Structure 1
Amino acid sequence: MTRLPEIPIAADDTATSLHSSAMTRVELIYVEKKIEYWIRFGKPARQHILDRHRRQLFFAPDSVFAFVRWAANDYGTIISRIDVVRAVASGEPFQTVPFVRPGGDILLKVEGWPKVEQVLAHIDAIEAIGVDPCAVAPDHWRHVSNRIRAGEAPSAYTMARHRAWLRRQEIAP
């Protein structure tokens, strides 16, 4: 029997005190060699296991996560996609993403396995410098999305860029 991998759940009081309807819900599916929808990074506030192949994760407003979707049929891969999404608050505008309800602020959207692999490698590089991908500047994810779609290599996310982003957060109203 194949089961979905375990996801650590956030332990902060604010996320767990939110009602599920105020959070962004992501449905994960795993059917071996057919469908794999998973979270590459993100801190879910809650999870709900539907059955051995499906699970729902709930993200608090303003949390960022990467949602990877891969599916195949008898002839090979039919979809490969990664989205980096910021969960939105109730009443905030959003874009729709399949299996994400109600939707979110899409920071990065890439399709096709070679491009998805490029994003996954970029995420690995960010983690290698000791930065949580959830804390990366949203503009950087947009930059990565645009550069990959244009067939160019994205700029590396450095500690200097991250410190600048954190300082900007401190002075922003």
Structure 2
Amino acid sequence: MSIGFSSCMAGRPLPVDAPQDGALVALTWQEGRIEHWIRFGHPHYEHFLDKHSRLLGFAPGAIFGFVRWASNDYGTVSSRIDILQAVDRFAPYQTLPFVRPGGELLLSIHGWPKVERVLQRIDAIMALSIDPAAAAPDYWRHLHNRLSVGQEAHPYTRLQHRAWLKRRSILR
């Protein structure tokens, strides 16, 4: 059922004003059939293709959560969440359907029970008044690794977030 970025674009060229850096995400929304949305993140570009699809662009370094869900006449056939960090055009990246060219994949989880746990973690981070897009990339990797092997992940804390912000300020 998975189709790529070019299939979603239906042979259309990229818009002239589409950014050349970062990640360009193709979103589709057909109620009850195919629902792709951004759970968190701060796009700097948006272009509506038609009433069911649009493109969002994320600047290099931006972290965002991308949720994909699909169903057929018998129920859900796919549910997944990917948390990516957009990269500049010369950096290495992983490819992902609906994301052009790709990004650094911090978390990739499929199956509703695990996706639901990730969504709960995102809500918990927001409950701390922390923007999930500003959370430490290492936390998303930790969550991915723990959920992938069926283990409970450590919660993200304000202390961990302060440490990440200090580390990030030194790295810049």
TM-score by length of 1: 0.88
Q: Does 1:47 align with 2:37?
A: no
CA deviation digits over 1:60-86, x for unaligned, max 9?
A: 100000000000011111110100000
Return the alpha-carbon distance in structure 2 between the equivalents of residues 65 and 169 of structure 1: 17
Query: Unpaired runs of 5+ in structure 2?
Result: 1-16
CA deviation digits over 1:129-158, x for unaligned, max 9?
A: 011001111110000001111111110100
- How do 1:9-158 residues align onto structure 2 when only pairs under 5 Å count? 20-158=19-157
TM-score by length of 2: 0.88
3-state SS of paired residue (1:103): strand
| 8 Å CA contact 2:69, 2:78 repeated in 1 | yes
How big is the shift at 1:19? Answer: 6.0
Return the alpha-carbon distance in structure 2 between the equivalents of residues 38 and 114 of structure 1: 18
Return the alpha-carbon distance in structure 2 between the equivalents of residues 57 and 123 of structure 1: 20
Query: Unpaired runs of 5+ in structure 1?
Result: 1-17
Q: Indicate how the Cα distance of structure 1 residues 46 and 118 shifts in structure 2: closer, same or farther if over 3 A, else same.
A: same
One-letter amino acid matched to 1:134: A
3-state SS of paired residue (1:62): coil
One-letter amino acid matched to 2:67: V
3-state SS of paired residue (1:20): coil
Counterpart of 1:166? 165
Counterpart of 2:8? none
| 8 Å CA contact 2:25, 2:57 repeated in 1 | yes
How big is the shift at 1:41? Answer: 0.1
Return the alpha-carbon distance in structure 2 between the equivalents of residues 94 and 116 of structure 1: 23
CA deviation digits over 1:10-35, x for unaligned, max 9?
A: xxxxxxxx961223100110001100
| 8 Å CA contact 2:18, 2:45 repeated in 1 | no
**Aligned residue pairs, count:** 156
Return the alpha-carbon distance in structure 1 between the equivalents of residues 158 and 117 of structure 2: 20
